[in-house]
């Protein structure tokens, strides 16, 4: 089995670092981290990588970093509102395409948010996309145009909502599941999500590098797509109660309406039996009995309404991505068995051979 060498630009980022870690025991792919300074390489050095400390925006560094690899993965993203940030992102793509070897494949990490209203139908119809989405779309087009010019295969991977041991979404979800004994989630349990685990990103990269996949823009989510019940259940190590409420669960009656309806039912059901008895009792007894009934009913409703506050995430309202998915992805759960996520990410390893230098 041949091993493909891949230069990972932006390897010190959360996704890049986790992909490097996952690939350490992978015989099909050799990831070479490329970072801009020694400080950025510290965590990867701890994991056992011999990093290439080079700035891809410089022509000389770009040639040194990518002239001997089979593929380049651009996981770096320059943030900022000024035009220089957009130019810097385009320069990373341009140098990756121009100064990698002629047969190299170029993979750019984009986002499914670039789908716009096809992803989020609740978004205002005439609203402008965010600067982040516009920049990602611009970089996708720029990549494919340059790859056609230099006769190279380019892939823009629109990543779903990324989960993994180093990812903020995973940290936040585990914290949420550790704060209470039960959770109400404003989403249907069987609704497909666009969650994407890093093991599947790694698999998508290997498909782009090792097969004759047609160049273009592809979406990447778990295979098969996990339902929201599967996502929360996977991280629910404490076994807390999960209550999923779809659209019917969101539009529920208020507690006061429940109280009035329940009281009306109670009084109407027992009125006939009480009429004959109350005529022999003091005049104000009926009123006192009704007051006690109200108090008991209110307490019962107050007890049943002591539920945890509902949890809503923006991702709940996103439509499941079903178009232009990377073909041939292996099942995500099967990939978990091949990679010990926690140990892979956190434990050091011996430094690889000098082929990374």
Lowest mean per-residue pLDDT among 70-84, 207-221, 266-280: 266-280
Lowest mean per-residue pLDDT among 32-46, 148-162, 265-279: 265-279
pLDDT score of 283:
60
Residue 83 pLDDT class (50, 70, 90 cuts) = confident
- Tell which wins on pLDDT, 288 or 322: 322
pLDDT score of 5:
95
Mean pLDDT across 220-248 = 90
Residue 17 has pLDDT above 80, yes or no: yes
Residue 119 has pLDDT above 70, yes or no: yes
Per-residue model confidence as pLDDT tens digits over 249-264: 333 333 444 444 454 5
pLDDT score of 285:
65
pLDDT score of 295:
65
Q: What is the 3-state secondary structure (H, E, C) of the chain?
A: CCCEEEEEECCCCHHHHHHHHHHHHCCCEEEEEEECCCHHHHHHHHHCCCCEECCCCCHHHHHHHHCCCCEEEECCCCCCCCHHHHHHHHHHHHHHHHHCCCCCEEEEEEEHHHHHHHCCCCCCCCCCCCHHHHHHHHHHHHHHHHHHHCCCEEEEEEECEEECCCCHHHHHHHHHHCCCCEEEECCCCCCECCEEEHHHHHHHHHHHHHCCCCCEEEEECCCCCCEHHHHHHHHCCCCCEEEECCHHHHCCCCHHHHHHHHHHHHHHHHHHHHHHHHCCCCCCHHHHHHHHHHHHHHHHHHHHCCCCCEECCHHHHCCCCCCCECCCCCCHHHHHHHCCHHHHHHCCCCCCCHHHC
- Per CATH, the number for 4-167+192-238+314-356 is 3.40.50.720
* Mean pLDDT of the chain, nearest integer: 83
Per-residue model confidence as pLDDT tens digits over 310-351: 888 889 989 999 999 999 999 999 999 887 644 445 555 544
Most confident segment among 26-40, 122-136, 201-215? 201-215
Per-residue model confidence as pLDDT tens digits over 34-67: 999 898 899 999 988 989 999 999 999 999 999 9
- Tell which wins on pLDDT, 259 or 117: 117
Share of the chain above pLDDT 90, in %: 60
Mean pLDDT across 275-279 = 54
Residue 32 has pLDDT above 80, yes or no: yes
Residue 210 pLDDT class (50, 70, 90 cuts) = very high
Per-residue model confidence as pLDDT tens digits over 120-136: 877 777 778 888 999 99
């Amino acid at each position: 089995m041949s091993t493909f060498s891949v230069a990972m630009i932006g390897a010190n980022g959360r996704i890049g670092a986790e992909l490097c870690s996952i690939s350490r025991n992978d015989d099909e792919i050799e990831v070479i981290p490329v970072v801009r300074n020694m400080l950025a390489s510290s965590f990867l050095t701890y994991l056992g990588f011999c990093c290439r400390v080079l700035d891809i925006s410089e022509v000389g560094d770009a040639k040194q970093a990518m002239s001997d690899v089979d593929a380049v993965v651009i996981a770096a993203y320059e943030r900022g509102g000024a035009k220089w940030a957009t130019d810097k992102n385009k320069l990373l793509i341009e140098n990756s395409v121009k100064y990698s070897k002629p047969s190299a494949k170029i993979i750019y990490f984009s986002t499914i948010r670039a789908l716009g209203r096809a992803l989020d139908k609740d978004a205002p119809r005439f609203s402008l996309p965010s600067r982040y989405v516009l920049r990602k779309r611009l970089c996708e087009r720029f990549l494919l145009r340059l790859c056609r010019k230099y006769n190279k295969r380019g892939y823009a991977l629109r990543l779903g909502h990324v989960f993994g041991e180093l990812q903020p979404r995973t940290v936040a979800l585990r914290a949420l599941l550790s704060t209470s004994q039960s959770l109400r989630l404003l989403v249907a349990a069987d609704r497909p999500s666009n969650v994407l685990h890093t093991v599947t990103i790694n698999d998508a990269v290997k498909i782009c590098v090792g097969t004759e996949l047609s160049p273009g823009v592809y979406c990447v989510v778990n295979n098969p797509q996990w339902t929201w019940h599967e996502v929360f259940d996977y991280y629910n190590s404490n076994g807390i109660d999960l209550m999923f409420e779809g659209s019917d669960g969101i539009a529920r009656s208020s507690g006061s309406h429940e109280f009035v309806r329940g009281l009306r039912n109670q009084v109407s059901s027992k009125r006939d039996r009480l009429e004959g008895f109350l005529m022999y009792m003091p005049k104000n007894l009926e009123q006192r009995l009704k007051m006690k009934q109200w108090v008991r009913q209110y307490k019962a409703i107050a007890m049943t309404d002591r539920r945890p506050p509902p949890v809503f995430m923006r991702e709940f309202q996103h439509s499941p991505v079903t178009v232009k998915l990377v073909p041939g992805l292996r099942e995500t759960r099967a990939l978990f068995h091949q990679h010990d996520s926690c140990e892979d990410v956190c434990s050091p390893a011996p430094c690889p051979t000098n082929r990374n230098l």
